[in-house]
Structure formats: structure tokens, C-alpha cells
Structure 1
Amino acid sequence: MTNSREQIYAAIDVGTTKVVTLVAKADMEGGVDVVAQGHASSAGMRKGMVVNPDAMKECIRQSVREAEKTLGRKLPPVIAGVTGSHLQSHNEGNNGEEDSVIPEDGYFTRSAVDGLVQASAHNPIGMRVIQTVPRSFEETHVIMGDTVPIDTLTATLSGAGVTLRGLVPEHLASGEAVLNPEERVLGVVLADIGGGSTDVVVYREGSVWYTTSIPVAGQHFTTDAATGLGLLPVAAEYAKITKGSVWFEHLTERDTAEVKPALSSTAIPVHLKKLNRLLHDRAVELVRMMMYRLASNGMVHIPSAGMVLTGGASALPGLADIVADYGKCPVRIGAPSSTLGLPDELLDPTYSTAVGLVLWAIRQRHINTLTESRYVGASQSRSGGWFSRFKSKQPAEVSV
């Protein structure tokens, strides 16, 4: 139980396969003191979007109740992640309108930054700006989403009794947890491979250059295994996690393994070559889709720091090798940094988004992202990006 006077921050990762609630305090050394956790299996989500609000509300309630039981009080307003193929992004210039918001003394306050960014962000009909991240003095990276799934997500959280402070794109949150400043400056591609979607973000010179969401992820691997092998989804998931990889050439038709999913009374024989061939083919499809998206948006070569894979499905053996082969670049599996002081169970790629969301809640603690969505991302404030080019004269109560 925490002291009611202590400042705490909360985040919820509402995923396709799980709901994770984290409550934390900021320590004096820049780390995170996690004081409560809540976990629940997810139901009612598909490809990162809520399709059954009633089922999803109960999952959220279960996760929140577990965290609140440890915390000893109600959660503070939370930061939640948003994902799905409805997300779109583009880099937009301000068309010379910056002259009206540039301070005469050269110092940039929060209101000056907001005015400059707002001049470059325009909402198409039916879309809502979720995040705007300045890339340069004349250009802003704008992330938008369809209003329908966004409103459904916020209504579901509210219906579960959660007070929402704001929404953050999950790929930006994951970047907070697994990328270091040097990678952002050199240039890096982060792919967060979750249950329902793969979220990709590209950093160059310390700033966000491109973001996208691909509707292929961990559940698709499981569905392929279930369909191809005639297994129930729970058995296919267990086989994928315990016996699966993307390598099949060394196996024969006689190579089998017995798998016994949780709560099952009997073991099930699985043909390993067929299982791995199914996983390999889906992995190749996913990697090709990522490379196509990157190439279509002007990326001829992967940046110097290569690619970082995170999210639960990134742990599939051999997936990183396929990415390295197609991308012709170094690849690593990214997990929340041990330097953050996290509990051991959170030092896993599965929890990158949840950890990143609570980091975002702490580092952007003076900002309500529901009402003030256009602001400099936490990564720019630390890594010497666009904002560091100017002399900063910020109001004392605002942290950039």
C-alpha cells in the first residue's frame, strides 16, 4: 500500500492478447519504482481494436482491480496505448505559417511550440490527431486515427471505471522503453510485434521520421498453426511458444513433439516441420510487408542502428534472422532496460508497451494528452532533437 500523498502514475496497455496495468513512482535516479501491477487475458479485441466493448470492459476491470488491491486505493488518471491499422501518419510542413508564432527573443515557451505545431497539423474528415511530434523547424510528424475505434476505446475504458488522462500510440511508447538515445540519433527502425498488429516507428537524427501499423502479428501465427495443423487455438498457441521456430529445412516428416496445453488432460502430437513451415511463411510475409512500407515511404536502406524487434511475438526463434536477411542490417530483440530498476518479470519484450506507457506518464506528467495532444515527445527532449536547437524558456510548471 502506498502513501496517499505520494505522486503516482498509471498506464494501461489494452492489447489483443492481454491487458496490463502498471502503477509507478519516479525515483531520484531517473528509474521507475513499480508499486502495483494488474494482469488479465484479453477478450473483445481484434487487430488492436475493440470489437466487443462489454467483454473488453470486464478484462480491463480485472486488470485494474488487481493493481488497485496492491495499491490500496483507486488508480490516478491513466495513460493508455492506442494501436491498429486505422492509424495513419505523415510529415507535414507548416507552409510558412511559423512566422506568426516565432518569439521575437528567440526563446520558445510551451505555447509557442504548440502554436508552431498546430500550424502544421490538419485533421481530415473522420480522423483525429493523436500525436504530433516536431521533426524540424518547418516540419511535423502527425499521427492520426479513425475517430470510431478511438471513441470506442475511450468509451470502453470509461465504462470499466477508468479515468483517462490520454492516449499514446503504442509504438512511440515502446520506443521509450527499449531504445537508447544513440540509436535514435544514428537512425533505427523499431517494430513492436504484438498480438493483433505490428507497429513500426523510424527514428532519424533523434526525431520520429515515419510510423505505421501493419495488421499482421502474433495471433496470425497462431491462427495459421491452428488451421494448418487442425488444432484448437489454445493448443496452437502453446505449440508455437514451446516448440515453434521459423526454421524447418533440417526437419523431416517424422519429427514430432507432444504438446500439452494448460488445463489439458492429454498430450497432442504436433508435426514440427509443418508447424515451423507455417510460422516461417507468415514471418516472411510480415517482414516483406514491413520492408515494403518502409521502401514506399522513401527508405532505400535501413538506418545505421538497424532494426529493433519487441513485443511478445518478437521472441519467435529465427524471426530476427529473417528480418536481418531481408533488411541487410543488424537486428536485436529489445526489452525494457534493466537500468530502469524494474521488477525482473517486466524485463521482457512482452511488456515493452506497458512499461513505455508508464514512462510516458511520468516523463510527460504535466501534460494532459486528451486536451493537449500536440507536444514534443519525450524522446526529443532527451536526445538532442529538434527542440534542443532553440534556447528554452519554459514555464516552471511545464516539463518538456
Structure 2
Amino acid sequence: MKNYNLFRSPQLTVYGQNAFNRVGIETSLRGMRALIVSDKIMESLGYVEKCVDFLRTENVQSEIYTGVNSEPTDLYVEESLALFKEKRCDVIISLGGGSCIDTAKAVAVLATNGGYIGDYMGGVKDAAISPVPHIAVPTTAGTGSEVTDATVITNVSNDEKMMIKQRAFMPAVAIVDPLLSMSSPKKVTAATGVDALSHAVEAYLSKRAQPMTDNLALSAIKLIVSNLKRVYENPDDVEAREAMSTGSMYAGMAFSNASVCLVHGMSRPIGALFHVPHGESNAMLLPAVLEFSKEACKERLATIGRIFSEDANKMDIDGASNFAVEQIRNLCMDLNIPNLKDWGIEQDKYESVIRKMASDAVKSGSPNNNPRIPTQSEIEELYRICYDYQFSGSGVF
């Protein structure tokens, strides 16, 4: 009988202000020609050029792919992989949000193992050969992808978000510099912040939670709850930015090892079909899914409620668990998170794909980690509830 747990993380994590300055040093230890996977925004902000300069100082040559301009797709993977091979690169740097990091993860594995990225979904194909060294540099505080062994890539031929999780997808190095997130617009700060919160909450509530992930998840929740509104209202608050970067990293480590649950299972199809950014779709779903799950995880939700306020210590478990859901709902409202209707999704089109979205959610496996495992029909009903969900409401379950 298994009585132990596994915990995976990058070989090295460099974090804190000016951590980005080490990208040249860490790259030179692993290769001499780097492919930088990034996007046009990072290029326009000067981050890509700064990365090239750091590499040049360490005599590392570089090639640049900035074609990632939405949620990661198999086309971005194919394009960047072709460039990697053409230029005979031997190390990969991802610089940007989760889309850039997830794209680079796929390239790192395919460069040595071959095949199509979808082959690795569900463990059908095992990435048995060590991947190309990947140095992940996040510029948002939200996805935590820099410290996870999972990647989510959209198959553009059928609009399916392929959730792929294998040890080989873990970056070799994570460089987490809060100063890189200073340029994030308020909307991105809000969405990625609630994304990080959903990672931590789901890791703590997951049926696969373990002591190490519990500690990381609760630490992440404390940091995020204390700093998300603060950095949203004052984007130049470096201390709050640093706390959010650390919280996001902790949450990533937690969910990478404990897995995510129903929120993520439902979120991916929304992103694939309606191109809602992953962090924002998670935020849209989180309160309603917690209400649905509440009866099966009251004690853990009560613990989360007590993080929001010491007043919850005076409440019984029912009161504190209700308080947790209420506070998360209020946080989404304060951060101006829209529901799916307000985001601009047409109701008729949305209704027409609810069955497919629910089927894809079940197929992902994430709902099976939820404290209350839903049926497909219950997931379909949750999609309907979330369409015009009111964060200012008092609950629907």
C-alpha cells in the first residue's frame, strides 16, 4: 500500500528583485545558443532585448520567436520548434506569461522526443528522453507555469485544450523577478492574481493534496489575499508585487503536485472555444464552483475563511466556510472580474457548446480531483449558472 508522496519542482529557482539578471549565467551553464520564446508585448517593453544583452554578456548566442499572441496553440509550438531546429539551438528561454512558458515547455520536449505535442496527452506517449534545458522567466504573477510539470496547448483543428502533464515538462530553471510584472495592466494583474488564488485553493481542496502542498497552498493564499487588491489599486507597489510573485510561485508548486480540480477542468474549454484568457476564465468560475463543492470540503474552506479575517475564528465551520466563499466572491467583484455574459460571449452560441465543454472538462480528468465530483449534467448546469453569475449575489446552491 502506497504511503508516500512525490513532490517535483525545477532543479533551481531564482527569485526576488533583479533575479532576471541571472538569466545569462544560468543559460551559459546549460547551452550556448538559446531560443527565446516570447511575444510582441515583451518585445515592445524591451524585455526581449534585455534578455539578449544578458546572454551576450555570457557569450551565449540567441534566436528570437515572438509569435505567441494568445493562449498557446500547437501552431506556435510547430513554428518555434522549427526555428529551434533550423538555428541549431541547445537551450530554451521562455519570457512572458503562461502562454510563452507553456509553448516553450512543448518545444523543449519535442526537440528531443519528437512527434506531435498531442501525442503526450494522457500519457499515451512518454517523454522518455530528457528535454532540452528550459529556463522559464514569468512576467506575470499568476500562472505558476514556471514551476509546474504541465503544459496546456490548444489543438486548433478541433478547439480542444490539451492538458499534458509529465515530468519532462518541468523547466530546469525558474527565474521569478517581481520587477518584470510591474508593466502588467490592471486587468491582467486582476485576472492572473485570481488565477493564482484558484491554483492555491484548488490544490488545498484537491483529493490529491498532501502535507507539502497544503503548506505551500495556504502560504500562497495568505500572500495573495493580503496583496492582490493592494497591487491592483497601486500597480507600482513593489513590495506587493514581490509578495504576489512569491504567492503565485507557491501556488504553482502546490497545484503541480496536488493537481487542480473542477475550476480548471471547466475553464480550459471556455478558453479553447471563446478565447477567454485562462486566468480570467478561472476567476469567472471560482466562486460558483466553490459554492457547488462547499458541502464536501467545509473544514478546509473554513481554514481558508480564517485567512481572510480573524473574525472567522469566532465562527463555526459552516459559518467560516460560507465566509470563505463570500470573501472570494467579493474579491472578484472588487477586481471587476466580468462574468461570461459581460465578457461578450453570445448566449445562444454559448448554450450550443455547453455539452461539448462539459464533455471536454470530464475528459481532462481534473473534475475527479474535486471534493465533490460532478456528473456531466451537473457541469452543464454549472456552465449555465456561471454565464451570468453575479459576484454580488448571496449564492446559488
Q: What is the TM-score when the length of structure 2 is the normalising length? A: 0.24
Larger Rg over CA atoms = 1
Q: What is the TM-score when the length of structure 1 is the normalising length? A: 0.24
The structure whose RCO (Cα within 8 Å, separation 6+) is larger is: 1
Question: More helix by proportion, 1 or 2?
Answer: 2
